[in-house]
Structure 1
Amino acid sequence: MAPTPRIPQSGSSRVEPRRFGDLTLGQWVGSALILGAAALVLAGLLVLMARVLISLGPVRGFLEMYPGAYDLPAGAPVGIPAWLGWQHFLNGLFLLLVIRSGLQFRREKRPNAFWSPRGNKKRRISLALWFHQAIDVLWIVNGVVFVVLLFVTGQWMRIVPTSWEVFPNALSAALQYASLDWPTENGWVNYNSLQQLSYFAITFVAAPLAIVTGVRLSVVWPRDAERLNRLLPAEWARRIHFPVMLFFVAFIAVHVFLVLATGALRNLNHMYAARGSVDPDAFAADPTGLLLFAASLLAMGAAWIAARPSVLIPIARLFGDVKQR
């Protein structure tokens, strides 16, 4: 009797899950949950430690001596002008696109499009890098206008420390924030010292570092300038540039959280609608700033979505040649 022939069974091949970067969606979600839980635990411990500290007699005396802010110089302006609100929005918009394009450039391995100047077609860069550098230019121009207006109008006195008392007051404000007992303040009149140091650092330290290192890594840097290259090697610029971007991201996250957590309507009126008063509760229920903030988020979201090759290529061709794979 002949053996029954074996019918081969079609085995089902295992489908690899789609990866987003180096991880699958499930791995990203799991990592986010673990990191979120760890962050909550650390935040809880920080709040507990801060509350224990401010319950001690010497620390309470320190907080009474340094409430979190010092008096501004005589003649310092009161209030936030409309131009500062526009500068704030444009800075946020450009910075968002700078971060988006920078991250895209770092993770793309095979660019689908390249840009080169019309006068030098041999020198080409990826479309993502061109967009990053183009937005950098807009961000720098906006920043220069901002700094000039700061000093012309006297607003610099609000963000540039003018007394050594800024340091103990900043420590006091940090303790109050950490204990969830927000510092008593009115941003329309004066920032607390921790805010002042943060705004000074972001404007006069982090921004110049980002600009200098960004120029060093860009196509405008002269390749044959041996003395300049020794003064600022490209490898040093890379090591500084990315951490500075991470500092901007951390600043934005903390800044937005505190704006919303310490009196959202009042703070948004100050920042977006140029509406405020020496009375901190005068515009506490005015929705104007909130509506303008919501409109700015829609504009930023639209810009984020529009920053794709189908939109960028026609724009890039206005300033050079674009070749696609």
Structure 2
Amino acid sequence: MNTSSKNKKKGGFDVQPFIKPALIAGGAIVVLAIIVLIAIWLRTIPSVEAFIEKYPGQDPVNEVESGLPAWLGWQHFLNAFFMLLIIRTGILVRITERPKGHWTRNNKGLIKTKKAPAKITMNLWTHYMVDALWVLNGIVFFVLLFATDQWKRVVPLSWDIFPHAISSALQYASLDWPAEMGWTNYNALQLLAYFTVIFIAAPISLITGLRMSNAWPEDSGINKIFPAPVARALHFPTMVFFLVFIVIHVFLVFVGAVVGGHGIFGNLQHMYAASPDAPWFAFIMFALSIVVMVAAWFLARPIFLTPIANMFGKVSR
């Protein structure tokens, strides 16, 4: 019997599972510290400072005149709400070995098939349903985005976006952050990140998810050039990308209040109040959104979703 087993048997605390995560976290902190020191040193070089002065981080051609409309705030919340549930159910689909419930599609309605009704886990059914709401929300977002000037926020309009992005990265890394102009213009790194999420990651997630679902026709000619294993190989990493993006996004929003000097309500009032000057209303709306998300996380379980699922099929063990 090894030392770890003896500790468990005697009720002692086993540190073994925490050693590897601690080493990874410690290594990450050291790497970040080195990056910060290098960035600070680079900014002592006159030519680097001249570069940052020429390319401060925001490309003027991406500036909008309409500020941040209320619909964009609602879209931001709904997208975050659905994405939270998509990630949760996606992880459960992968790790749950013995699902607590299954859902079977009724072979009724406008579309009838000769095949037996599809039986899937309740976790997968929930994943599909939230996916459908996320896609619907995305369609509304795209329509409103290109019906207004808001598309300029997230689409590169000149090659200058890349030197502006390098400048933004240097400013972030040196802890002397880019000027906050989010009401009219995102900095280049934000713009490129949003462009990647909206126009690359989201379509990949949708297409690969459809390819793996039973809604995809089995006799489609495209299956040879887009087989299911390829879709699976792309789908999960894309979800991980979304998760990393969300963590970094939230981190920068709140750390920016301290390091960037934007004030604790600076970004919140843009996202939750559609105003550059409504701090307490923004905080209240933010707090309510957190309550709604926590409640949804708790309620997104088979025991609560069964009545809804039974409206579209049959739930069983």
TM-score normalised to the size of structure 1?
A: 0.86
Query: Displacement of 1:78 after TM fit?
Result: 3.1
Hey, what's the Cα distance between the residues in 2 that align with 1:15 and 1:222? Answer: 54
Q: Does 1:63 align with 2:52?
A: yes
Hey, what's the Cα distance between the residues in 1 that align with 2:184 and 2:14? Answer: 47
What residue identity is the alignment partner of 1:178?
A: A
1:33 aligns with 22
CA distance change for structure 1 residues 73 and 128 in 2, over 3 Å: closer, same or farther? closer
3-state secondary structure, aligned to 2:209: helix
Query: Displacement of 1:214 after TM fit?
Result: 0.5
Query: How big is the alpha-carbon RMSD for the aligned residues of Structure 1 and Structure 2?
Result: 2.1
What residue identity is the alignment partner of 1:78?
A: S
Hey, what's the Cα distance between the residues in 2 that align with 1:15 and 1:30? Answer: 16
1:266 aligns with 266
What residue identity is the alignment partner of 2:302?
A: P
**Equivalent pair of 1:269/1:275 in contact (CA under 8 Å):** yes
Q: Does 1:240 align with 2:228?
A: no
Rg bigger for which structure?
Answer: 1
Aligned counterpart in structure 1 of residue 194 of structure 2, from 178, 196, 199? 199
Provide, for residues 87-112 of structure 1, a one-character-per-residue CA deviation record: whole Å limited to 9, x for no partner: 11000000000000000000012223
What residue identity is the alignment partner of 2:267?
A: N
2:162 aligns with 167
TM-score normalised to the size of structure 2?
A: 0.88
1:83 aligns with 71
Hey, what's the Cα distance between the residues in 2 that align with 1:28 and 1:14? Answer: 15
1:210 aligns with 205
Hey, what's the Cα distance between the residues in 1 that align with 2:159 and 2:180? Answer: 19
CA distance change for structure 1 residues 305 and 29 in 2, over 3 Å: closer, same or farther? farther
2:112 aligns with none
CA distance change for structure 1 residues 59 and 15 in 2, over 3 Å: closer, same or farther? closer
Deviates more, 1:192-201 or 1:108-117: 108-117
1:221 aligns with 216
1:187 aligns with 182
CA distance change for structure 1 residues 306 and 32 in 2, over 3 Å: closer, same or farther? farther
3-state secondary structure, aligned to 2:156: coil
**Equivalent pair of 2:165/2:189 in contact (CA under 8 Å):** yes
Gaps of at least 5 residues in structure 2 are: 108-114, 257-261
1:6 aligns with none
Deviates more, 1:310-319 or 1:27-36: 27-36
Number of corresponding residues: 297
Query: Displacement of 1:30 after TM fit?
Result: 4.4
**Equivalent pair of 2:82/2:134 in contact (CA under 8 Å):** yes
Gaps of at least 5 residues in structure 1 are: 1-12, 18-23, 277-282
Identical columns (%): 46
What residue identity is the alignment partner of 1:108?
A: T
**Equivalent pair of 1:113/1:126 in contact (CA under 8 Å):** yes
Provide, for residues 8-31 of structure 1, a one-character-per-residue CA deviation record: whole Å limited to 9, x for no partner: xxxxx98978xxxxxx99655444
What residue identity is the alignment partner of 1:123?
A: A
**Equivalent pair of 2:89/2:127 in contact (CA under 8 Å):** yes
Provide, for residues 247-270 of structure 1, a one-character-per-residue CA deviation record: whole Å limited to 9, x for no partner: 101110111111112233011000
What residue identity is the alignment partner of 2:103?
A: W
1:9 aligns with none
Query: Displacement of 1:57 after TM fit?
Result: 2.5
CA distance change for structure 1 residues 64 and 241 in 2, over 3 Å: closer, same or farther? same
Provide, for residues 34-77 of structure 1, a one-character-per-residue CA deviation record: whole Å limited to 9, x for no partner: 33222222211111111122222221221111111111368x33
**Equivalent pair of 2:105/2:313 in contact (CA under 8 Å):** yes
2:101 aligns with 113
